[in-house]
Amino acid sequence: FKSHASEVNERNLVGIESPLGPVLVTQITGFLARRIVCWTKPGDVLEQGQLFGLIKFGSCTELVLPRHILLTVQRGQKVKGGITVVGRIPDAV
């Protein structure tokens, strides 16, 4: 995965409003994948851990979380959608 891929490859942005602040999820295709599937529509309500889409043949997803969230993963770490906990609320640590 090349660091500039988010600038040149196909991508899909999903904005999520939560009580903890806004979250932005960017699904980015790889050079060969070029196929993003997103099942959500504006106004849909998502539950914690709910899958909302996928990138066929894999690739990359970028997350922008509220500043106060404590990350539990490292940049570049492989995670699994709906399974890997990527951050915690400071009071819940």
Amino acid at 32: L
Cα-Cα-Cα-Cα dihedral sign, residues 48, 51, 52, 55? positive
Task: List Cβ neighbours of 68 (8 Å cut-off, separation of 6 or more).
Answer: 20, 21, 89, 90
Select which of 3, 6, 18, 59 is catalytic: 59
3 counts as catalytic = no
| Catalytic residue annotation | 59
